[in-house]
Chain A
Amino acid sequence: MKRRSNSPDVARRNFLKGASLASAAALAAPTAANAIPAPPQPKLKAALPGPLQIAADTQPPNKDPATQATSGGDFMVDVFNTLDIDYLAMNCASSFRGLHEAIINGKNNKIEILTCPHEEIAVAMAHGYAKIEGKPMAMICHGVVGLQHATMAMYNAWCDRVPVYVMGGNIVEANKRMPGAEWVHSAIDIGALTRDFTKWDDQPTTLQHFAESAVRAYKIAMTPPMGPVLLSLDAELQENPIQEAETLRIPKLAKVMPPQGDSGAIAEAAKLLAGAENPVIVCDRLARTPAGLARLVELAETLQCAVIDNAGRMNFPARHPLNMSFRRGPVLSQADVILALEMNDLWGVLNQFSDRIVRSYRQVYKKGAKVVTLGSRDLYQKANYQDFARFQEVDLAIAGDGEASLPALTEAVKRLIDEGRKSAYDARGKKLAAARLAMIEQAKSDATLGWDASPITTARMCAEVYAQIKDEDWSLVGNAIRNVWPLRLWDIKKAYQWNGASGGAGVGYNAPASVGAALANKRHGRLTVAFGGDGDLMFVPGTLWAAAHHRIPLLYVLHNNRAYHQEVMYLTAMAARHGRGVENAHIGTTLTDPNIDYATVAKGFGVYGEGPITDPKELAPAIKRALAVVKRGEPALIDVVTDPR
């Protein structure tokens, strides 16, 4: 396909022509040594032509037109319209100016651009959005420097098995790069930077190649185990006129069906579960859709067994009588069959680790218990980054999507239940339900400790927020590290009322992911709230501007402990190990002197802000005022000065 008029073959001919003319000119030019005096010239009646006129008269016709009627970017927009993508998050960059222009000015575009002041914000917004909406958001950046900004957020999405559709602009052909930024912003292979934590990447060389890779990328991202993908978009391909348009074809995106576990293995697992005295289900990233939640409830209630939820997704209702997530030690110590559903770190659940010099560990589940895994992680792993966690020895490993495989497993279990077993199951369920009720009452009692203290306890912060949203159609989409109170106190039961965590524990996820999730909720009219740490927000404060600019309603409650608190504790542990300087652990770990005024920061970005709130009595009125702002369609931030955890 022809490219620009100065495409390689044409340019080469021009180069040869230029070289011939230069030789002829050299032969014809007089030299000073053998110069012959020129004969007298007749007097001219008109002025001599200027250099521009000479150039116009002597140069070949213009081969570098200034305008064009079509562009590859227009075709790319047509391709995106066939994919189920509603938003493109970006920080603008010249290496994708062709596509950018096609999106904002093309007639057929359906994608809305989200302006983000940092690529990490753009990817994390897409991350949070995908978990609520169940489909990817696209993100585009400079393929070199922008992608470097985006990488940590992409790593989070990889670890969390979330589809994010990332694109990076690049100028592939060296002779097409303008001097300066275009050279330092180009690479032979931009995907090399992120290949360890993307499912797939490609650098299409033609528009037809792009169409096929764009559809392939979507399909791969959405096939469990899901994950981010990357397309490198050549600037020439985006910007130049479409050649041979009649030959271009956009492939159909097929319905993506997740893989199910082997039927024989499912039957074997069902037999183990049905015959167990104390079966236990542990899960992490099970529920991809609302169906996952319902299916897990059905299996657990069929077995009347304990469920330990690592809460990577909204897997199981927080107050369900069988939810033993905060009683995992006693439950695991009595388990004789453990079913692990879409677990990432099963070893971490089944063992207790001592972070001391030897770093020893101890198994916390009963010796001889049978362990069955069902999940899609075994279907796709990479080697370098160690997000697959420590190897756990199991008895039966079923590779298949957990949510898709649950109906077959539940039906297989039901077929094995007779009256005797049903009676035993019911008795088991009653015991667990009684324990669950006691746990809820214990949580409420624990929450009263320090109720009127300042700094404010995290329990009170969470209780005050819940009191004002519990009768609304609410969605909690973000949480500060180790803030267990929503899961202990709140009646979290709908698929969109919990949105998991970052996956990679990369700081700077929570604020933008919450905004992305709030954007997804906006369409459904839900009231979105999030808790977030101050350290996290300081990585990506520009998130607030993006939320204000796009009118994304979200109540962001800042759990402001004025520190990178996990590190305060780690440093304390190191100092204690050495028997020195425990009181110095604040150095390099805290965000004080000066204290940051986040309400003012928020206001500076156009977001409603209140705080710092140190008196717990002032919290409820502040939440009420902020919720009024959110209900009229705007973001709001409350800065709550809290106890560390």
Chain B
Amino acid sequence: MIETRSPRARAAALAVAAFILNAAGLGCFGTQARAQDAPPGDAANGRSVYLKVNCFQCHGRAGQGGAMNYPAPPLAKTAMPFEGFKMVVRESMRDMPAYNEAVLADKDLVDIYAFLQSLPDQRPAKDIAILGD
């Protein structure tokens, strides 16, 4: 059937779209400011949960991104604001699993976000010789 999205699903899609635009340098989010808006979390526990509930299967252990049937964006130092991030995880889109509170508590979600913010960001590609060509 043709998609008739719920308001929450639409919001999740918008959040992802904004995130992707931002990642491509075309958006208008202030990355640092948005990340700082997130509730404080336990990055160590976030890492543990990130691995336990299989986030890494698509997005990579280093948050480098990957793919299922559609691309799974990089999440290291994600520029997506926490509320948008939470909405995407809860509602999902395309082929991403939707994680409800029964499998991923709010507290763990906060910790995962903290873990993602703790990951090393991209490096300048020119610093890695073999990426020069």
Residues of A participating in the B interface, judged by any CB pair closer than 8 Å: 352-356, 358-363, 438, 441-442, 444-451, 453, 455, 457-459, 463-464, 466-467, 470, 482, 484, 489, 491, 565-566, 568-569, 572-573, 575-577, 579-583, 585, 643-645
Q: A362, A438, A453, A583: which contacts B61 (Cβ < 8 A)? A: A453
**Residues on the B chain within 8 Å of A464, using CB:** 130
Kindly state whether residue B97 has any CB partner on chain A within 8 Å.
yes
Do B102 and A579 touch across chains, with their CB atoms under 8 A apart? yes
Do B102 and A358 touch across chains, with their CB atoms under 8 A apart? no
Once the chains are docked, how many angstroms separate the CA of A402 from the CA of B97? 38
**Residues on the B chain within 8 Å of A446, using CB:** 64-65, 74, 122
Inter-chain CB contacts under 8 Å: number: 153
**Residues on the A chain within 8 Å of B52, using CB:** 582-583
Kindly state whether residue B99 has any CB partner on chain A within 8 Å.
yes
Kindly state whether residue B133 has any CB partner on chain A within 8 Å.
yes
Least CB distance, A339 to chain B, in whole angstroms? 24
Do A579 and B57 touch across chains, with their CB atoms under 8 A apart? no
Least CB distance, A476 to chain B, in whole angstroms? 16
Do B95 and A645 touch across chains, with their CB atoms under 8 A apart? no
Once the chains are docked, how many angstroms separate the CA of A450 from the CA of B63? 8
Give residues of chain B (1-41) contacting chain A, Cβ–Cβ below 8 Å.
Answer: 1-5, 24-25
**Residues on the A chain within 8 Å of B53, using CB:** 572, 582-583
Least CB distance, A173 to chain B, in whole angstroms? 50
Give residues of chain B (108-131) contacting chain A, Cβ–Cβ below 8 Å.
Answer: 120, 122-125, 127-128, 130-131
Q: A361-B3, A573-B95 are in contact. Are A449 and B63 (CB under 8 A)?
A: yes
**Residues on the A chain within 8 Å of B71, using CB:** 484
Do A572 and B94 touch across chains, with their CB atoms under 8 A apart? no
Given A356-B92, A449-B63; 18 other pairs, CB 8 A cutoff:
A361-B2, A438-B25, A446-B64, A448-B125, A449-B60, A449-B74, A450-B76, A457-B60, A459-B64, A467-B130, A569-B54, A572-B97, A573-B95, A576-B98, A576-B100, A581-B103, A582-B99, A583-B52
Once the chains are docked, how many angstroms separate the CA of A572 from the CA of B25? 32
Do B2 and A575 touch across chains, with their CB atoms under 8 A apart? no
Do A353 and B103 touch across chains, with their CB atoms under 8 A apart? no
Q: A360-B2, A444-B125 are in contact. Are A577 and B63 (CB under 8 A)?
A: no
Once the chains are docked, how many angstroms separate the CA of A455 from the CA of B56? 12
**Residues on the A chain within 8 Å of B99, using CB:** 576, 582
Least CB distance, B25 to chain A, in whole angstroms? 8
Least CB distance, B16 to chain A, in whole angstroms? 11
Do B76 and A449 touch across chains, with their CB atoms under 8 A apart? yes
Once the chains are docked, how many angstroms separate the CA of A569 from the CA of B3? 23
Kindly state whether residue B44 has any CB partner on chain A within 8 Å.
no
Do B61 and A643 touch across chains, with their CB atoms under 8 A apart? yes
Q: A360-B2, A450-B60, A585-B54 are in contact. Are A353 and B123 (CB under 8 A)?
A: no
Do B61 and A580 touch across chains, with their CB atoms under 8 A apart? no
Kindly state whether residue B66 has any CB partner on chain A within 8 Å.
yes
Once the chains are docked, how many angstroms separate the CA of A410 from the CA of B25? 35
Do A450 and B2 touch across chains, with their CB atoms under 8 A apart? no
Once the chains are docked, how many angstroms separate the CA of A573 from the CA of B70? 14
Once the chains are docked, how many angstroms separate the CA of A355 from the CA of B95? 5
Kindly state whether residue B105 has any CB partner on chain A within 8 Å.
no
Once the chains are docked, how many angstroms separate the CA of A356 from the CA of B5? 12
Least CB distance, B94 to chain A, in whole angstroms? 5
Do B93 and A354 touch across chains, with their CB atoms under 8 A apart? yes
Least CB distance, B24 to chain A, in whole angstroms? 7
A-B contact pairs, 17 of them (CB 8 A): A353-B69, A353-B94, A354-B93, A361-B3, A438-B24, A441-B125, A448-B128, A449-B64, A458-B66, A484-B71, A569-B95, A579-B100, A579-B103, A582-B53, A582-B99, A583-B54, A645-B60
